[in-house]
Chains A and B, each alone.
Chain A
Amino acid sequence: MAATPALQVLTSNRLRDGAVVYWQAGAWVEYFKDADVFHDKPLADAALAAAMVFVKDRVVVNPYLFAVREEAGQIRAVEQREIIRCAGPSVRRDLGKQAKPSMEAFDVSI
């Protein structure tokens, strides 16, 4: 059985528009940089349980936890899938969350 990753972030898609959202202090925010980072499993699991209320209330669908790591003082998603969800399509840098001028660059190039 795979070990539970040390650091995790909780994410989901908003029901009305499908937008990627992240968990921050009991609510959903649009940007990965604002997301809560869970350092231990009980806290992450508690957030996931709390998130299910938002599923019931038709705010989001399919919340889940994913692995992140700390790199040069920054939090980054471990898997390519989550890196792309955080940023937007790597082939259209003008679209998705990466398109917002204030967003720092995401390293998703080949």
Chain B
Amino acid sequence: MYRYDEFDAQFVKERVSQFRYQVERRLAGELTEDEFKPLRLMNGLYLQLHAYMLRIAVPYGTLNAKQMRMLAHIARKYDKGYGHFTTRTNMQFHWIKLVDVPDILEELASVEMHCIQTSGNCIRNVTADHFAGATDEEIEDPRPLCEIIRQWSSLHPEFVFLARKFKIAVGATPHDRAALLWHDMPVEIVKNEAGEVGYRVYAGGGMGRTPYIALLMKDFVKREDILAYLEAVLRVYNQDSRRDNIHKQRIKILVNTIGQEEMQRRIEREFEEIKASGSLQLPQEELDRIKAYFAPPKFETLDDEMPIGSYDFENWKKTNIHKHRAPGYAIATISLKAIGQTPGDISHVQMDALADLMDQFGIDEIRVSHEQNLVLPHARKRDLPAIFARLQKLDLATPNSGLITDIIACPGLDYCDLANARSIPIAKDIARRFENLDRQHDIGELKIKISGCINACGHHHAGHIGILGVDKKGVEYYQILLGGSGAEDATVGNIMGPGFSAHDIGPAVERVVDTYVKLRQNGERFLDTYRRVGMEPFKNMAYLEQMYAAH
């Protein structure tokens, strides 16, 4: 994985010193809260319901064992013994003291981590496919480009104060695991007809109160031109986006106001200007240098046979083991969705034990997925029974990857200052309703995503079943959305109707799922059945109890 060079190390060290001084000045009264807030946000520090929350960047979702141990240490020393992995593949700690943050940043810097670009109106931590470098589907590993984008954007003077936050994801496979088209600027690594590798660039995706799927801006950008093209997109956004209404300032609003063609024209004009200036060419040597950091481990020559094990192991294999590019290896998903647990939460004991497991089985890195799970990208097949046994002891072997209990949920009103309703108890309730594994297998792929407010950190717009928490006069209600997708067939979910109470939402979801089971044909997934039959049959069943109650 990427290692800091001298510049990176110095940059992060200076940022820690700057923030230490800023905290001192805040505590001494030299900075007001209004002056301090943008500074703390630039370092991922929010003030939430119970304490400060620190959001730590996990660039493109990749961690080594040392970094995992550091997160465990921070959880233990500065928080309450646990952390929360987010849908941006970052780590959040919810019980942080302001006075501790400079020390935490210093400890993070010692393992090449930081909280930069996790908040504020800047280019945020770039995300990628969590199977990057391991899947046999990809054209090439997307992470070198993510790293190049990070280096280009971190101190870019034009893009430090954008109109709003700006999210980029890079994918390289036909099967989208990174919710690519929901980003402000998705980049897809593609091959043209001549077999050259280049980039397909989109713009204008996003969730929040106005959800949009990104639109294609350019079908093929040459490798050496990619930074010039991305800069052109950012320039058009920076120049032309609204700044008068916070809800209208994302690039999705600009793209959908002026239209795809006009956006393409404006970007092209900037692109030609940047290219003509001769700047921002990406030299192959630099790309190769960065790529070298992401070189896959030396794969051994191994027997490709998959071990056979206990009933539990076989169930885990069904959903949590995925095809690897190298014979004798597998990709293993570690579910952070044990039934009854908070999606994405992990204790310091589990983090330390995972770091030990990585060391013991020679696995250099672990990935964080936007679905709030962890991934061992390069596990030897022959080690899987032993890995599984260790994960079982840690309550990390839930065999539900991609199934109905693999629910995404934001922290919601249990922690978040912006939330209108709780997400986690709803996720737990639904998971318990579908706990039976045979039933989960029968239902098949079904992605439930829950957000506690319209900001959509829980990706409810992209859920096959999405749930949005709303506030009605101080009481929590939950709207259901159906038909969303965060995959290559990205779609915005449709709102079913009026919200359900916290007590009624679980039963309503169960009736929706039962309706699917009755209506499905020929191995259809929930999403396929919804697309075939539409909202009506689901809606009729979901509101059935209310109709009885009304009569």
Contacts and interface: CB of A to CB of B under 8 A. Distances in A.
Interface of A: 13, 15-20, 55-58, 61-62, 67, 78-81, 84-85, 88-92, 95-96, 109-110
Interface in B16-55: 26-29, 33, 47-52
B80 interface: yes
Given A13-B47, A78-B474, A81-B413, A95 B27 contact: no
Contacts of A18: 47-48, 50-52, 96-98
11 contacts: A18-B48, A55-B33, A58-B26, A78-B474, A81-B49, A81-B419, A90-B425, A91-B424, A91-B425, A110-B425, A110-B429
Nearest to B82: A92
A66 B33 CA distance: 21
Contact of B29 (A16, A58, A109): A58
A91 B475 CA distance: 17
B57 interface: no
Interface string B410-442: 000111000101101110110000000000000
Contact of A15 (B27, B414, B425, B475): B27
B503 interface: yes
B342 interface: yes
Given A84-B414, A91-B424, A92-B414, 20 more contacts: A18-B47, A18-B48, A18-B51, A18-B52, A18-B97, A18-B98, A56-B29, A58-B26, A62-B33, A78-B474, A79-B474, A80-B413, A80-B471, A80-B474, A84-B49, A85-B49, A91-B414, A91-B422, A96-B50, A110-B426
Q: Is the interface of A mostly helix, strand, loop or mixed?
A: loop
A91 to B, nearest CB: 5
Nearest to B33: A61
A25 B20 CA distance: 34
B35 to A, nearest CB: 12
Given A61-B33, A85-B50, A16 B414 contact: no
B196 to A, nearest CB: 51
Contacts of A90: 414, 422, 425
Contacts of B425: 90-91, 109-110
A89 B415 CA distance: 6
A58 B474 CA distance: 30
Interface in B182-206: none
Contacts of B502: 110
Q: Which 7 A-B pairs have the closest CB atoms?
A: A79-B474, A18-B51, A17-B97, A89-B414, A18-B52, A110-B502, A110-B425
Contacts of A110: 422, 425-426, 429, 502-503
Contacts of A92: 414
A59 B413 CA distance: 25
Contacts of B426: 110
A20 B50 contact: yes
Interface in B345-390: none
Interface string B78-103: 00100000000000000111110000
A96 B95 CA distance: 9
B476 interface: yes
A56 B426 CA distance: 40
Contacts of A56: 29
A84 B413 contact: yes
Nearest to B45: A18
A88 B50 contact: yes
B421 A15 contact: no
B534 to A, nearest CB: 30
B49 A20 contact: yes
Most chain B CB atoms below 10 A, which of A13, A20, A81, A96: A81
A110 B467 CA distance: 16
- Which residue among A61, A62, A67 has the maximum number of chain B CB atoms within 10 Å of its CB? A61
A80 B415 CA distance: 12
A15 B98 contact: yes
Contact of B27 (A16, A80, A81, A85): A16
Contacts of B48: 18
Nearest to B49: A85
A96 B419 CA distance: 18
Contacts of A84: 49, 413-414, 422
A3 to B, nearest CB: 13
Contacts of B29: 56-58
A49 B414 CA distance: 29
Nearest to A81: B413
Nearest to A109: B425
A17 B474 contact: no
Contact of B342 (A20, A85, A91): A91
